[in-house]
Amino acid sequence: MIGNDVVDLSLAKKQSNWQRPRFIEKIFTKQEQTEINSAKDPDFLVWLFWSMKESAYKAHQRIENFSPRFNPWQLECSLQEVSAEKIIGKVNLGASSFYTSSTYADNCIFTSAASEKNLQIFHQKVANKSLKEELLKSISEKEQILLKELHIIKNENQIPQLYQLENLLDIPFSISHHGDKSAFVLLNKKTAYLKINGF
């Protein structure tokens, strides 16, 4: 299963002061707090960890189909590989593990998470398009389904699901937006296709 998250760092800086008393203790584990406090750029690491937690949570929620209850402290992040192109990480939640890939561009962090390791992801940037329109268009093209037959409905646990007319389709996807940045990740035949809006 997959999940994703987008953090616009400029907006995050305006909307949230992570340095206020007890904020990091409520959100981050002891190990994460240690890494944040010793980081060269603690602001970036705070929002990177947040993005990793959020995308892993979405993937986990889709597996378990539970009602929304995001407890970020229960998810523990670790960084596996850091380069200029991407940051590979892992998020543990109890006995479950999620593998993350994060990129940084235009002062924005995008993270995708998968319950399977080494899931191949293709990145493509798209400007000035509707997120849901682009998602449905991509599914229509890849699955050869008429675009007008596709729509998204949230289930009883607020998880978006894909339908062709009245039929629920087994095509995992995740959508996310923050500020004017938006993205989706789509799993199809063991390949995840990623499109990013607003960059």
Q: What is the CATH number of domain 2-197?
A: 3.90.470.20
36 with 91: CB under 8 angstroms?
no
Predicted confidence pLDDT, tens digits, the chain (199 residues): 899 999 999 999 888 888 777 888 889 999 999 999 999 999 999 999 999 999 999 999 998 888 888 888 899 999 999 998 899 999 999 899 999 999 998 889 999 999 988 665 544 445 446 788 888 998 898 889 999 999 999 999 999 999 999 999 988 888 888 888 888 888 765 555 555 555 4
What pLDDT does residue 47 have? 96
Q: Tell me, what DSSP letter sits at residue 169? A: P
Buried b (16+ CB within 10 A) or exposed e, 115-129: beeebebebeebeee
| Helical segments of the chain, H only | 9-15, 23-27, 30-38, 42-64, 131-143
Contacts of 65 (CB under 8 A, 6+ apart): 155, 157, 159
What pLDDT does residue 138 have? 87
What pLDDT does residue 193 have? 56
Q: Which of 68, 69, 132, 59 is nearest to 90 (CA)?
A: 59
